[in-house]
Structure 1
Amino acid sequence: MEPRKAMDSLTIMTELVLPNDTNVFGNLMGGRLMYWMDIASALAAQKHCNAPVVTASVDNISFENPIKLGNVVHIEAKVTRAFTSSMEVHMKVWGEDLKKKHKYKSNEAYYTFVALTDENKPTPVPGLIPESEEEQRLFEGALRRRQIRLILGGKMKPDDAKELKALFEN
């Protein structure tokens, strides 16, 4: 299986925040944003592996700035690293006030997906080739983030997380 470039998985999704998407404060509901992020990141993962995918984990969603009613949401998703059958996808989210011509960062997150066969069994995915400095930085950090997810999920012993432990040892 030929490795693929990170940029080949780039998915950009745009949504308009309507009244049904907001809470009592007139801000986009976090759950609605997470739903849109799940769609955008799943599309990026599917572009990378050319197979159906399922969400395996959602982590490190940081809500920095609210997105108001009537603003536009831009979600940029890209695969940061591919493992055996799973892929980590990083997302950046911006809000945009079209009237004020102001675009601002709202959120950032990592989702993990597993590629499946037609029989719903995990299937191997192509490797990833990071090209830019940012892609390389995200690629290198993905292994440590994966180890944290596996430890928290009870699938890895902390002593086995060599790359993660290296951050704390002299």
Structure 2
Amino acid sequence: MDGKKAVESFTVMNELVLPNDTNTFGNLMGGRLMYWMDIAAGIAAGKHCNAPSMTASVDNLSFKNPIKLGNVVHIEAKLSRAFNTSMEVHLRVWGEDNLHQYKYESNEAYFTFVALDPNGNPRKVPQLIPETEEEKKLFDGALRRRQLRLILAGKMKPDDASELKALFFAK
């Protein structure tokens, strides 16, 4: 199976924040944003593996600035690393206030997707080929983030997390 470049999974999704998307403060509800982010991440994962995939985890969802009613939401999703059957997708979110003519950073997150075969079982995915410095940085950090996810899910013992231990203990 040939590898694929990170840029091949790049997905941009835009949404307009309408009254039904907001809370009582006039801000986009976090759950609605997560819903949109999940769709964008799923599209990026599907582009990479050319197969159906499902969300396995969401982590490091950081809310930096709220997005207001009437603003436009810009979601960018791109694979940061592919493992055996899973893929980590890095997402960045911006809000855009067209009335006042400015764009601002709102959110960032990592979603993990698992590719599925026709029977709904995990299937192998192509490896990811990072090209830019940013892609390489995200690719390198993905193994540590994966180990942390596995430890928190009880699927890996902390003593087995060699990449994480290397951050704290000199060899």
TM-score with structure 2 setting the length: 0.99
Which residue of the partner structure matches residue 22 of structure 1? 22
Distance 2:154 2:67 in 1: 35
Aligned pairs for 1:2-17 (under 5 A) are 2-17=2-17
Distance 2:104 2:49 in 1: 31
Which residue of the partner structure matches residue 73 of structure 2? 73
For residues 29-52 of structure 1, the C-alpha deviation after alignment (integer angstroms, 9 at most, x for no partner) is: 000000000000000000000000
| Residue type of the alignment partner of 1:155 | K
For residues 57-102 of structure 1, the C-alpha deviation after alignment (integer angstroms, 9 at most, x for no partner) is: 0000000000000000000000000000000000000000011110
User: Percent same amino acid at aligned positions?
Assistant: 72
Distance 1:109 1:128 in 2: 19
Unaligned runs of 5+ in 1: none
SS in 2 for 1:24: coil
Aligned pairs for 1:1-170 (under 5 A) are 1-170=1-170
For residues 96-125 of structure 1, the C-alpha deviation after alignment (integer angstroms, 9 at most, x for no partner) is: 001111000000000000000110000000
Distance 2:79 2:7 in 1: 8
For residues 11-33 of structure 1, the C-alpha deviation after alignment (integer angstroms, 9 at most, x for no partner) is: 00000000000000000000000
| Residue type of the alignment partner of 2:103 | K
SS in 2 for 1:48: helix
| Residue type of the alignment partner of 2:100 | K
| Residue type of the alignment partner of 1:58 | V
SS in 1 for 2:108: strand
Distance 1:30 1:53 in 2: 23
What is the root-mean-square deviation of aligned Cα atoms in Å?
0.3
TM-score with structure 1 setting the length: 1.00
For residues 105-153 of structure 1, the C-alpha deviation after alignment (integer angstroms, 9 at most, x for no partner) is: 0000000000001100000000000000100000000000000000000
